[in-house]
Structure 1
Amino acid sequence: MVTEQADVVVVGTRCAGTAAAIALAGAGRSVIGLDSSAFPSDTLSTHLLWPSGVFELAELGALPRVLALGAPPLTTGLADGAGFTVRAPFGRYGTIGYSMCVRRAGLDAALVDTARAGGAQIRERSRVVALVWAGRRVVGVRYLDRNGNERRIDARLVIGADGRRSTVARLVGAHAPYRIEPSGRSCVFAYWHDTSLEWRSVAAQWRSGDLLGTAFPCDGGLLLCLIQPPRDRAVRVAGQIERQYRRMIAELPGLSDRLDGCTLRTRVRSAVDLESYFRRSGGPGWALPGDSGHFKDPVTAQGIRDALRYGRLLGESVARVLDDPQALDRQVSDWEMRREAECLEMYQYTNRLARGEEMTPIEVELYRAGVADPALGAAMMEVVSRIREPRHLMRSGRKLAIAAGALARAGDRGAAWRAIVRDAHDEISERAQRSMARPNAARHARGWVGQG
C-alpha cells in the first residue's frame, strides 16, 4: 500500500472542507483533500448566501471566482405572510451589503479551484474507507483512489467535512448527536428560467397556510424556487414530486405570481425527514466542521455560511500548533466550543421557524409591525444575516406591544394566548440551554483533551 505524509487530511472538499484547506495551505501547511465526487457536481442545498456568507467567500479569497459565475447581487429581502409584506435592504456585514444565490456545482468548483491555487492538493473520486489509529488518536486515513487502489495518508489532523452522513463521524463514534431536533418541514426545489428583471435583486419568501416558499435569483439567468411543506405533506413518491411541487406553488399566490412567465428548467428534487443537530465535533487527531458536526434546518439558509466560517476558523486556529498534539487538542476543543456558543441561538431560532405550522398570531403581528416600521423590517433581515442575534430583534416594550396587538386583533384569542405562552416558554428554555452550553462543552472537552 502506498503511504504518504501530510500535515492535514481533509475528507470532503465542498464548503467546509475547502475553507479549512484554504486556511491551512495559506499558513504554509501541507494539505490533501479527498472527495468521493468529481467537480463540478451538484448537491442538495438551499444555496443562499446572506451577506455574512458572501463575506466568508471574500475572507477565503474565493469571491472573485464566485462572482464570475454571474449570480446577481441580492440587495433586498422580502418576507410576505398573512397579507403583510416586509421589504428591507440587507445590512452590511463587514464590507458586504448584499446576498447571493449560487448553484452549488459552480460554487463548490470555485472553492476547489481556490484551494488548489493556494497550494492544497484536492483529489477527486477518492473515497475514505478507514481511519488510521495510534492508540486513541487518529493519525491518518486509508482511501480508495479513482482507480480503486487503496492508499494511506498519515497526518497530524484528519478533518471530516463529509456532510450529514459523515464517514469520519461514524468511524470516530460521533455520529449520534448530543443535541437533536426533528424538523417540522421537508424541502422540494427546482430551478426556473427567470424572466422578471425587476425581481432579480430580491431574495423573497412567502408564507400561506402551513406552506413556506422562496424564490432566489441565481446564476445562469435562473431562479431557485424552494418549497418547505410540513413534514406530513412531504413529497415522497418520485413520480408525483413535480405535480405536488406545482400544486404547492399554486397555494402560495405571491410565489405563483413571481413565477408567472418563468419556465421550469430542471427536475424537481426533495429532501425529507430532516433533523437539526450538534454532534461531538472534536477528538484526538480529528475534527468535524460543516454538516458533519452541526446542521440546521434549511428554513433560515445558514448552512453554507457556517460551513465556510467554521471550516476557515478551524484551519486558522490549528495551523500553528499541528506539531504539538496537546496544543492541537486544546485548539480543536476551543474551536468546537466557539461554534456551539455562536451557533446555538440561531439553531434555536431556526427550529422555531421549522415547526411546519401556520403563522401564529404573534408572527402575524410581527409582520404587521415590520411593515409599519422600516427599522424593524431591516432588523428582521439582520437576524438571518447574522448581523443581529435573534434575542435582540426587539426590545421588551416592542414585544409587549406585539403581544397586545395579537390579542386585540386575533380572530381566536385562545390561539393568541397559546402563542404568547409558548413563546415565553421557548425563550426561558432557550436561555437556559445557552447558559449551560459552554460549561457543558468545557466539561466534555476536558474528557478527551490530552488523552490522545
Structure 2
Amino acid sequence: MTEAVPMADSPSAVEQADAVVVGARCAGSATAATLARAGRRVVALDSARFPSDTLSTHLLWPAGVAELSRLDALEAVTELGAPRLTKAYAAGSGHAIASEFPQVDGIDYTLCVRRSGLDHAVLRTARAAGADIREKCRVTELVWDGERCTGVRYTDSDGRPAEIRAALVIGADGRRSTVAKLAGALDPYESEPSGRNCYFAYWRDASTEWRDTAAQWRVGTDLGTAFPCDDGLLLSLVQPPAESGKLRPGDAERRYAAALDRIPPLRERLRGCEQVGRVRSATDIVSYFRRSSGPGWALPGDAGHFKDPVTAQGIRDALHYGRLLAEAVAPVLDDPVRLDRAVAAWERRRVRECREIYHWTNRLARGTDMSPLEVELYRAATGDLDLAAITTGIFSRTRRPAELYTPARMARLTAGALWHHRGDPRPVLADLAHEINATAHEFHTSCTTLRGTPPPVPPSSTGTATA
C-alpha cells in the first residue's frame, strides 16, 4: 500500500502515501475506506488496539445507519445484534409524542451500537477496502514544508520512530485532536458551553415491550433516555444541569442515581433491569467549530466540529463528512492547488450544513426547565402527526429546525401557550422575548463566525518548517 524511500539522516525509511489518516474510528475509517476504494494509497494510524471502547452515546438515527450502508459496513454492524429501533418516543410535562422514523435511503430505523463493536466493524470495512490500518501507533509531529503539511512522524506499535509523507494529513482523532493542536487549530473560532452534564450506564434490559423504542423523557430541568443496544443491553443516559468543579470519586454514580430518581418514568423503564458496569461521565461539554482545513491537512469528525450529545449527531456527521472529504480530495491529491481548494470547499460545506442543527442542539442543551413554548410544542405534537414527524426528522437530518419554527407555527404555539397561561401570561411573554433574542443571536452567528468562511490559522502557529 505504501512505497518506502531512503531517509538520509535516519536508518529507517520514510514512507510515501497519498494520504495519512490519524485516528481510525468512525470519521477516520470512513475517510480511509472511501479513499482506498478510489484507488488511493492511504495509511490510517490509531493509538488504540481494536476492538476498543471510547466515551460516546453512540446512537445512530436513520441518516447515520444510511451512512453505514454507503460505507458497506452495515452488514458487519448488524451482526453485532443491536435491535432495530422503529419507534420514537418523547415525553415532557405530561405530554407524550410517539412517531415513526423517516426513511433515509430506504432505512427507517435507528440503531444503538456500543462503540467497541461499531468502531471495529467500520475499521474492518476500511481494511477490507484496501486501507493500511496500523494500530498502537501514536503521532508525535507533523512534517512541514513551509506552511504546507507534508506528513507525520509517529511511534509504531513497537515504540520505534517512523515517518510517512503524504499529500494530505487527515486528523480524525477526536475532540483532543493531536493534529488540530499541531496545526495550530485547537482553539475553536465558535463555541457554546453546554448547560448540561452527561452520565450514562448500561443495563441488562428486562423489557420486551420497549426493545424497539428509542425513548426520551424531560422532567423539570433533567433529561433522560433509554436506548436498547447490542448484547441484550440498554443504554440509559441522563443530562442534568451542569455542575461546576471536577468530579470526585463516586460523584458520577451519585449524580446519575439522583437524576434517575428525578425522572420517575425512566426509573420505571429500568424496573427489573440490572446495571452492568460503571457509570460513565462527560462534563464541561463545549460545542464548537474549529478551523478544519489548511495546506495539506483537514479535520473531519469531532476533531473539527462537535455538538452536545443531547441530539446524538456525532457519529452520523463523522461518517458523513469523512466520506465527503475523501470523495472531494481523491481526484485531486496529485495537484496541491486543487487539493487546497477541495478541502476548503469541504469545510465550508460542513459549516453551512451543520450550523442550524448546531444552534438547535445548543437550545436543547440549556439545562433549564421546559419553557411554556416547549410545553406547548409537546402538547400540540401529541395530536399533530406532521409536527411529530418534523421533530423526529430533525434528529434524522431529513427536516430542518426552521420547519418547526415557522412564523405561522410559532404564532399558533404562542396563542396556545397564552391560553393555557391566561391567568398569568408573563412567563409566555418572557419566553417569547427570549426566543426572539436567541433567534437573532443565532442568525447573527450564522452570518458572521459561521458564514462558511472560517478564519485562517495564523502562519506562525504551524511551527518550524521541516522538509
Which structure is higher in helix share?
1
Deviation by residue 1:100-120 (Cα, 9 ceiling, x = unmatched): 100000000000100000000
Once the two structures are TM-superposed, the CA of residue 429 in structure 1 deviates from its matched residue by: 2.5
Residues 110-121 of structure 1 aligned to structure 2 (within 5 Å) = 110-121=121-132
The aligned counterpart of 1:137 is 148
Residues 36-185 of structure 1 aligned to structure 2 (within 5 Å) = 36-185=47-196
Change (3 A) 1:233 1:129: closer
The aligned counterpart of 2:386 is 375
Is 1:420–2:432 an aligned residue pair?
Answer: yes
**Structure 1 CA distance for aligned equivalents of residues 98 and 124 of structure 2:** 36
Once the two structures are TM-superposed, the CA of residue 439 in structure 1 deviates from its matched residue by: 5.1
**Structure 2 CA distance for aligned equivalents of residues 244 and 230 of structure 1:** 11
What is the letter of the counterpart of residue 164 of structure 2? I
Is 1:429–2:438 an aligned residue pair?
Answer: no
Change (3 A) 1:417 1:129: same
**Structure 1 CA distance for aligned equivalents of residues 454 and 111 of structure 2:** 36
Once the two structures are TM-superposed, the CA of residue 234 in structure 1 deviates from its matched residue by: 8.0
Answer whether contact 1:22 1:115 (CA < 8 A) is retained. Answer: yes
**SS of 1:441 mapped into structure 2:** coil
Is 1:349–2:366 an aligned residue pair?
Answer: no
The aligned counterpart of 2:28 is 17
Deviation by residue 1:178-226 (Cα, 9 ceiling, x = unmatched): 0010111110001000111110110010011111000000000000000
Residues 261-410 of structure 1 aligned to structure 2 (within 5 Å) = 261-410=272-421
| Ranges in structure 2 where 5+ consecutive residues have no aligned partner | 1-11
**Structure 1 CA distance for aligned equivalents of residues 153 and 452 of structure 2:** 33
Answer whether contact 1:235 1:244 (CA < 8 A) is retained. Answer: no
**SS of 1:184 mapped into structure 2:** coil
**Structure 1 CA distance for aligned equivalents of residues 405 and 37 of structure 2:** 41
**Structure 2 CA distance for aligned equivalents of residues 142 and 423 of structure 1:** 49
Change (3 A) 1:267 1:442: closer
Deviation by residue 1:334-388 (Cα, 9 ceiling, x = unmatched): 0000000000000000001101111000100000000021221111100111010
Once the two structures are TM-superposed, the CA of residue 246 in structure 1 deviates from its matched residue by: 1.6
Residues 189-268 of structure 1 aligned to structure 2 (within 5 Å) = 189-232=200-243, 236-268=247-279
Deviation by residue 1:132-175 (Cα, 9 ceiling, x = unmatched): 11111100000001111000001110000000000000001000
Answer whether contact 2:64 2:315 (CA < 8 A) is retained. Answer: yes
**Structure 2 CA distance for aligned equivalents of residues 243 and 338 of structure 1:** 42
**Structure 2 CA distance for aligned equivalents of residues 233 and 130 of structure 1:** 34
**Structure 1 CA distance for aligned equivalents of residues 455 and 275 of structure 2:** 51
**Structure 1 CA distance for aligned equivalents of residues 408 and 179 of structure 2:** 48
What is the letter of the counterpart of residue 253 of structure 1? P
Once the two structures are TM-superposed, the CA of residue 435 in structure 1 deviates from its matched residue by: 3.7
Answer whether contact 2:291 2:455 (CA < 8 A) is retained. Answer: no
What is the letter of the counterpart of residue 425 of structure 1? N
**SS of 2:278 mapped into structure 1:** coil
**SS of 1:387 mapped into structure 2:** coil
Change (3 A) 1:412 1:302: farther
**SS of 1:153 mapped into structure 2:** strand
**Identity over the aligned pairs, expressed in percent?**
55
Answer whether contact 2:352 2:452 (CA < 8 A) is retained. Answer: no
Once the two structures are TM-superposed, the CA of residue 427 in structure 1 deviates from its matched residue by: 1.8
**Structure 2 CA distance for aligned equivalents of residues 343 and 295 of structure 1:** 10
Answer whether contact 2:202 2:276 (CA < 8 A) is retained. Answer: yes
**Structure 1 CA distance for aligned equivalents of residues 197 and 109 of structure 2:** 27
Answer whether contact 2:355 2:450 (CA < 8 A) is retained. Answer: no
**Structure 2 CA distance for aligned equivalents of residues 276 and 437 of structure 1:** 14
Deviation by residue 1:392-448 (Cα, 9 ceiling, x = unmatched): 124422210111111221375322111111111222222333344675507759x99
Deviation by residue 1:218-239 (Cα, 9 ceiling, x = unmatched): 0000000001011127882222
**Structure 1 CA distance for aligned equivalents of residues 316 and 289 of structure 2:** 16
Change (3 A) 1:412 1:36: farther
Once the two structures are TM-superposed, the CA of residue 250 in structure 1 deviates from its matched residue by: 1.4
What is the letter of the counterpart of residue 437 of structure 2? H
**Structure 1 CA distance for aligned equivalents of residues 13 and 236 of structure 2:** 46
Answer whether contact 1:337 1:438 (CA < 8 A) is retained. Answer: no
**Structure 1 CA distance for aligned equivalents of residues 111 and 42 of structure 2:** 29
| Ranges in structure 1 where 5+ consecutive residues have no aligned partner | none
**Structure 1 CA distance for aligned equivalents of residues 246 and 383 of structure 2:** 37
Deviates more, 1:21-30 or 1:238-247: 238-247
What is the number of equivalent residue pairs in this alignment? 449
**SS of 2:164 mapped into structure 1:** strand
TM-score w.r.t. the length of structure 2 is 0.93
**SS of 1:198 mapped into structure 2:** coil
The aligned counterpart of 1:32 is 43
